[in-house]
Structure formats: C-alpha cells, structure tokens
Amino acid sequence: MSPVSEYGFHHPAQRPLGPPPTHTHELDYGHYPIFRPPAANPGDHDFVCDYSAMEGWFPCSIPENRECWLRNKEGQEFNIHTNYEKFAPIGITRHYTLNITDGAFNADGQPFKTAKLFNESYPGPWLEACWGDTVNITVINNMSENGTSIHWHGIRQNQTMDMDGVNGITQCPIAPGQNFTYSFKTTQYGTSWYHSHYSVQYADGLQGPLTIHGPSSAPFDASKRPLLMTDWSHNSAFQLLFNRNWGNKTILLNGAGNVSHYGYTPTLKVPDNYVLHFNKTPTDKPTRPKRYLLRLINTSFDSTFVFSIDNHWLQIVSADFVPIEPYYNTSVLIGIGQRYNVIVEANPLAGDDNPIPEDGNFWIRTWIADNCGIQPGGAGYEETGILRYDNTSTSDPTSRPWTRISKACSDETYSSLRPKIPWYVGPAANAKKADDLAGEQFNVTFDRTAGTRPEFVDYPLALFSMQESADPDFRPLQINYSDPVMMHLDSHVNTFPRKWVVIPEDYTEEQWVYLVLTMEDSSIATRAHPIHLHGHDFALLQQEENQEYHPSRLNLTLDNPPRRDVVLLPTGGFVVIAFKADNPGSWLMHCHIARHASEGLALQILERQSDANKLFPWDSPNMIEANRVCDDWKSWHEEHEDLFEGDSGI
C-alpha cells in the first residue's frame, strides 16, 4: 500500500508531491513518523501527529523552514507545494465528543443566562488533527428546547455531503436527548472553526476552534492558541432576532471581554483580559527575535473586525484554508467566517506617532470596520487584549495604535492574496453563450418586488426580508428541518419547493462553474457581506467596489487568482468566483451575517445531483443513520411545534 493517497491509494511511482527541497539539514530517518506538531496545543502534551502507515517517512518541519511536513529517503516531500486537492498523507482516525448543554456564562461582567455550550465551555474545546487524518466527532444534544447541527467551517467534505452539518439540507437536526457522529477526512490544513448551523444558535455560544496541523509558508518558533474574536450580546440571539434589536454588544477575545469599555456597569466580576505573553528571543537562536504564529478567526454575529497589535507588524501567511505568499501589514481585516494565520516577531517597532512604551505592554486592538457591525460608543473600545513581555506586569498598556490603519470594510488587497499552490482556471462551463466570460449572476437584494428584476440577472441570491415577493423567483431561502434536501437526491429538481432556492449545476469534475455575485444598491447600510460557500474553496476571479456589474466590465484573473471560502461582497459592487464541479452534493452558499442568513440570504448549489445520489443509496449505512436522525427529530418536533418562529432555518 502506497503512503500517498489521492483519497484512495497509489503506487509509489505515482507520487506528484512537492518540488525537491532547496535546503539541506541532517535528519535521522526513523521507521515511522510520529511526532508532536510545531503548533500544537501547549496544554495537551499527549497530542502527536501519527503517520504509522508511512514507513520510511520522517517529519521535516524545523523553525527555519516550516514549508516541509514529511520527507522520505528518496527526497520526496509532503510540503507547502503539494497539491492538497489531490494528495494527502495517511494519518490516523481521531475521536472527539462534544456534549451540548444549556447554561449560563459570564464573558464580560454581565450575565448571559441563555448560553448554549460545548462541554460546558466557551469557546468550545480546541479540536486538533493532522493533515490526512480522519476525524470522528460525536455530538450529543442535551439542550432542552433546541435541535442542532454542527458545521465544520471550510472543510471540503469531498464526497461526504452528509457530514457538512447543515440542518434542512444535509441532515435533520439532532433532537434533544439524541446524538450524531460526524466523520470526515482532513485533506486541507490550517485554521478554522466549528459552529452550530441551526438558525442563529451559534451566537449563543456554540462555536470553537479547529486546527489541522500542516506546513506553513513562513518560519516560526512557537505558536499561541487560536484566537476567536466575536461580538457578544447578553440576550439570546433568537430574542435579538425576534425583537430586531442588534445593539448593546461587547467584543470578546477567546471568550473574555469587559462591559465597562462600552459604557455599561458590570454586575459580575469582569474576567481577566485576553493576554499574550512573548519572549524576545528563542533559546536556540538568541541572535534574532522569536517568531510567534497567531491563528485569527472571526466568529461574530454581525461584525467585521480590523485586527492589529501596537508596535508589531503582522506577517500574513494564509487566508482561510489557503497558504499564501507571505506579506506584511500593520493590520488585517477579518470578515465573519474568515481566518488568517499571521506570524509576529517579538520585536516592537516604533512608528511616527507610536513610540515603544518602556513597560513592555502593548494593546491588541479589534476595531469594528466601518458600517460592518454596530459601532460601540466610547474611546478605546477596541482595546480588547494585551501583549506582555513582562509576565509579572498587571498594568494596562500605554501604547498607541499604528497610524493610517484603514477601517474600511474591504477584504485584504486582492493582489496580496497569492496562493502558494497555483490554480489555472478554465472557461465557464455554465456560460449562457459561447462568448460569455462568466456564468450565472445572482443579485443580492432588499425587498425586491415584482417587475424590478435587474438586467443580466439569471437567478436571485435571496432577499434580506422574510416578506414574500409577488415575483416567485425572488424568495428568501427557507428550509424544512424535517425534510432535508439530502433525502431528495433521487427527485427531479423541478419538484423541489421554490423556497429551498436550489440551483442545479450538472457538469463534469474537471469543469468550472462561474458565479457572479452583485450588490447593486449602494444605499444599503451594511458595507460588505461575507459570502461563504460550503464544500469548496473558490477562486476569486474579480472583486470590485463602487462599480455596478456589467459583462463589459469583466477583467478576470485566471492565472493563480486568490482563493478562499469566504469573500466580502461589497455593497454597490460585485465579485466573480469559480469552483470545479468536483464535489457532488447540495452545498449552501450564504451570507455569514447571522441575521441575514436567518432572513434567507442564501441558496443551494446542487452539484452533479445524479452522482450525489449514487454516493448515498437508500440502503447505505450513511442513509440509514440519516433516517434515524430524522425519525428522532420528527418525534421530538411533533411535541414542540410551538417553539418555532419560522426563519430560514440555517
């Protein structure tokens, strides 16, 4: 059996991995590669990467070169240049259990009495795996009044649509008192998170970090725990949705905030600030500053953040699950659902207006981007964490922010996001005419009424309102928890209810599907919308602000464009994305502003329906289990119908 898998197994002669190493260093090649990854949880000393199936391979990641992951005696490598869309090491199977309960939580000095928690903690447990592992996660629902499903954000789920965790699409909700085990292979590596996909439930606490250990496109010496940044209310997100009151939020870093920064009086003990501790030099290289890997994740309800550390540059090395050519900036903008790995040197630098403070304490700042979230009142609200060089210090920093940090709600500069593994995007298989450059167009609209269909629009994306339009094509998405699309893969798409907003894309696995997403109304208050596609990374062929879409304005980048799984769609602008039709199933595409998704800003891409149906025959173990979950849900739902308000469900 070959140690190389194209999600199967290949003869050793068929190993198109990465290019040969450009460096040399002595390694004592062992029998099997079992090792502690360089960015593992420091609190879990038992966690190791285990490639016991790969005899003759050896770990090759060292502080001066994190691009290499595994190497064999012939010099072949799994590294930053390996095409992870086709090849992965052979890892082990890991098992986790997440127990969901109702609870109370003090995140910032005011009580939150209707929290929903994984394993009685917020954020939920840090789930770790290594590139090529299979992960089995049993989710037990011990809440009293909520079903749930758990989505593994950004995980490709190649050929495993049923594990994507979207109730009403890939499964029925897990009923209270019941459980379900998710199983998927980690073909990618990097930083992500897991969260509930049951309406706005994740904003009540059901979210946690997910790390897939693998190579890095820049060297580092040490790492810190993943950093989840979020906005936080003191009432259930379901209540906020019902009352349509989005204000009175604080900002949390890894579950800790302070209401006094936002003009409120604490009624409980305020938790300690989020603190990073840096040492200036690594023990083995005292002649240079120590380099730390930070993993940044925006898990908000409706806020886009600008992240910065006073007097420290950020080296950005990955966007979502995609390793990129490193670049430097004093800040990084992170939309909801987006992730960035950044490397920070323990080497404070003075700017024009921000001298280095003598006490070695620096503010970590998370501004809410302009018009991309409710702006809190009060100066200094963005001072949400502290970087300390003196472990004994307890004083607040006196540092000043970098000047000229943009708060505009715009994605990172398009040309900066250059993937390490290039894609060359082929023509659009779904073009309407042979000379078309792009495929279907989906227009994001507010309260669109009959007779106002924009020119060029083939299909709408959705409405931001739960009001029905007279035009049957302009409907917000609304799924049926008891009747997921997963159970209808053998039905003709024309029989699906219109409110499921199912868009068929039936092409071959080597063909490209292009989608044009437009937001033509520049008067909309929200400046940009984080659009997330499940089941795929997509290539970002074009992204324009303050420019209405017209085919004549297309200027597509097809040679190694940026790619990711969440993109900011600018109000008054458009984006063009593309993905290969290589993953049969029904994949949700939605705005990751929780209230917009709840109001129906979403659709489903039904990809190669006949192939998806073949993956899940009715007598297969996966479908038998899916039916069991649905039967449990229907039994519970029949006795609790009064608990449901009827939003989109996602």
Q: What is the pLDDT of residue 497?
A: 92
* pLDDT tier at 472, thresholds 50, 70, 90: low
| CATH number of the domain to which 554 belongs | 2.60.40.420
Amino acid identity at 613 = N
Preceding amide of 497 cis, omega within 30: no
Of 138, 114, 113, 112, which is closest to residue 125 (Cα–Cα)?
138
Return all residues near 545 (Cβ < 8 A) that are at least 6 apart: 410, 570, 572, 573
Strand residues in 310-360 grouped as ranges (E): 314-319, 322-329, 332-334, 339-345
Percent of the chain with pLDDT over 90: 75
* 70 is a domain residue: yes
Q: What is the pLDDT of residues 564-592, one digit of tens each?
A: 999 999 988 999 999 999 999 999 999 99
Together in a domain, 261 and 380: yes
239 shares a domain with 185 = no
pTM score of the predicted model: 0.93
Per-residue confidence band for 316, with pLDDT thresholds at 50, 70 and 90: very high
Region 507-532: mean pLDDT is 86
Residues 41 and 160 in one domain: yes
Choice among 64-73, 349-358, 532-541 with the minimum mean pLDDT: 349-358
Contacts of residue 521, defined as CB under 8 A and 6 or more positions apart, other chains included, come to 445, 446, 571, 572
Residue 254 and residue 228 in contact, taking contact as beta carbons nearer than 8 Å: yes
**Percentage of residues of the chain with pLDDT beyond 70:** 88
What is the pLDDT, as a whole number, of residue 244? 76
The two tokens of residue 106 are 């003090």
Average pLDDT over residues 341-346: 98
434 found inside a domain: no
SS3 594: helix
Do residues 129 and 213 make contact, with C-beta atoms less than 8 angstroms apart?
Answer: yes
pLDDT single digits (tens) 98-123: 999 999 999 999 999 999 999 999 99
Q: What is the DSSP string of 493-544?
A: GGGS-GGG-EEEE---TT-EEEEEEEE--TT-SS-EEEEEETT--EEEEEEE
- The model's pLDDT over 196-220, given as tens digits with 9 standing for 90+, comes to 999 999 999 999 999 999 999 999 9
- Split at pLDDT 50, 70, 90, the class of 471 is low
What tokens were used for 357? 């403070």
Give the chain's mean pLDDT: 89
AA letter at 153: H
Virtual torsion, Cα 598, 118, 152, 207, nearest 10 deg = 50
Closest CA to 573 of 602, 598, 596, 542: 542
CA-CA distance, 45 to 293, in Å (whole number)?
Answer: 18
Domain ends where: 161, 196, 215? 215
pLDDT number for residue 63: 96
What is the C-alpha separation between 267 and 286, in angstroms, rounded?
47
620 pLDDT higher than 70 = yes
Residue 381: CB partners within 8 Å, gap ≥ 6?
A: 251, 261, 262
Integer Cα distance of 448 and 454 in angstroms: 10
Please compute the mean of the pLDDT values over residues 54-68 and round it to a whole number: 97
| Whether residue 226 sits in one domain with residue 204 | no
Give the chain's domain count. Answer: 3
Rounded Cα gap, residues 330 and 349, in angstroms: 11
Does residue 357 have a pLDDT over 90? yes
Residue 223, CB-side half-sphere exposure with 13 Å CA sphere: 25
Of 246, 364, 344, 250, whose CA–CA distance to 302 is shortest?
Answer: 246
pLDDT (tens digit, 9 = 90+) per residue, 161-172?
Answer: 999 999 999 999
Residues 553 and 464 in one domain: yes
Residue 650 lies in a domain: no
How much is the pLDDT for 474? Answer: 61
Q: What per-residue confidence (pLDDT) applies to 172?
A: 98
Q: Please provide the distance, in angstroms rounded to a whole number, between the alpha carbons at the two ends of the chain.
A: 42
Q: Find tokens 């120590």 and name the residue.
A: 290
Shared-domain flag, residues 177 and 228: no
CA 166 centroid distance within chain: 14
* Residue 206 and residue 227 in one domain: no
Beta carbons of 209 and 43 less than 8 angstroms apart:
no
3-class DSSP state of 283: coil
Same domain, 534 and 569: yes
Its domain, for residue 354, covers 216-421
**Cα 206 off chain centre by:** 14
Is the domain of 170 the same as that of 210? yes
The more confidently predicted of residues 310 and 435 is 310
72 and 151 both lie in a single domain: yes
pLDDT value of position 589 = 95
Q: Please provide the size of the chain in residues.
A: 650
CA distance 386 to 276: 6
- Please report where in the chains the tokens 């899940």 appear, as a residue: 616
User: Rounded to an integer, what distance in angstroms lies between the CA atom of residue 564 and that of residue 419?
Assistant: 9
pLDDT at 467 over 60: no
The two tokens of residue 361 are 């304490």
Contact 549, 555 (CB under 8 A): no
Calpha distance 40→423 (Å, rounded)? 30
Q: Which residue has the tokens 């009923």?
A: 175
In a domain, 106, yes or no: no
Residue 637 backbone dihedrals phi, psi, to 5 degrees: -65, -35
- Confidence at 243, pLDDT banded by 50, 70, 90: confident
| 93-106 vs 134-142, strand pairing mode | parallel
Last residue of a domain, one of 161, 195, 215: 215
Stronger pLDDT, 534 or 494, i.e. the higher one:
534
For residue 433, what pLDDT is reported? Answer: 66
CA distance 211 to 341: 11
Q: Are residues 487 and 510 in the same domain?
A: yes
Same domain flag for 509 and 551 = yes
**Is 432 domain-assigned?**
no
The answer to whether 163 touches 535, Cβ cutoff 8 Å, is no
Rg of the chain over Cα atoms, rounded to whole angstroms, equals: 24
Q: Which of 179, 198, 215 is the last residue of a domain?
A: 215
**pLDDT, tens only, 256-306:** 999 998 888 999 999 999 999 999 887 777 889 999 999 999 999 999 999
> Whole-angstrom Cα distance, residue 377 to residue 177?
42
What is the secondary structure of 112-169 as a DSSP string?
Answer: EEEEEEETTBSSPP-EEEETT-EEEEEEEEE-SS--B-EEETT---TT-GGGS--BTT
| The pLDDT of residue 73 | 93
- The predicted structure's pLDDT at residue 27: 39
Residue 103 counted as domain residue: no
Instruction: Report how far residue 149's alpha carbon sits from residue 226's, in angstroms, rounded to the nearest whole number.
Output: 23
Can you list the positions of beta strands (E) in 254-301?
274-277, 291-298
